[in-house]
Amino acid sequence: MVVFLIYGMALFAAGIMLSGMGEGPNWGFIAFGSPVSVTGLVFSILAVWLLFGFLLAANFYGWAAALLIAHYVMAPVAVMLNHANSWQEEWLLLMKIVQLDPMTTVVLLLIYASGQILAWYWVIAGLSHSRTA
């Protein structure tokens, strides 16, 4: 679905902004692109959300739900495997970005959260529709 292509691009931009244009933590890229980001691919965010949109469009709601669950489970693992600094240093860098521009950080995290709510809404609606049909 086009919605999740746009969502993936928004999360890619959010990753860039949360990383302070390369000066801050890189966990945004890694967490937003989980589980594909475990591989270290730069464009894992786009890959994950394009795949999710495809699964919804193909009515594979169970697989879409599994991808969301894998996204949540693998995000901390991906961050631990792929960050350049220790998690403490990453956390301090994130706090620095939040202090420099808290409103932008809140807006970016709201974009992520609203996309997750929409994703689960479509998965649950699709699963309940497919069971009644």
pLDDT digits (tens, 9 = 90+) for 32-73: 999 998 887 778 999 999 999 999 999 999 999 999 999 999
- Supply φ then ψ for residue 123, to 5 degrees: -65, -50
Report whether pLDDT(133) > 70: no
Domain of 96, in residue numbers: 2-106
pLDDT of residue 115: 96
With respect to residue 115, please indicate whether it lies within any of the assigned structural domains.
no
Q: Would you say residue 122 lies in a domain?
A: no
Structural domain contains residue 90: yes
Cβ contact 43:55 at 8 Å? no
**How many domains in the chain?**
1
Residue 114 falls inside a structural domain: no
Q: Which pTM was predicted?
A: 0.87
Is residue 48 packed enough to be buried (19+ CB in 10 Å), middle (13-18) or exposed (0-12)?
A: buried
Half-sphere exposure of 114 (CA within 13 A, CB side): 11
Higher pLDDT, residue 51 or 98: 51
DSSP H or E stretch at residue 77 = helix 61-82
Task: Tell whether 118 is covered by a domain.
Answer: no
101 pLDDT above the threshold of 90: no
Who has greater pLDDT, 37 or 130? Answer: 37
Q: Is residue 14 part of a domain?
A: yes
pLDDT for res 21:
63
pLDDT of 131 over the 80 cut: no
- Residue 1, helix vs strand vs coil: coil
**Would the pLDDT of 119 be above 90?**
yes
Mean pLDDT of the chain: 86
Instruction: Give the span between the Cα atoms of 85 and 43, in whole angstroms.
Output: 20
Query: Would residue 73 count as lying in a domain?
Result: yes
Instruction: Using alpha carbons, select from 21, 17, 66, 15 the residue that is nearest to residue 41.
Output: 15
Instruction: Answer whether residue 71 is part of any domain.
Output: yes
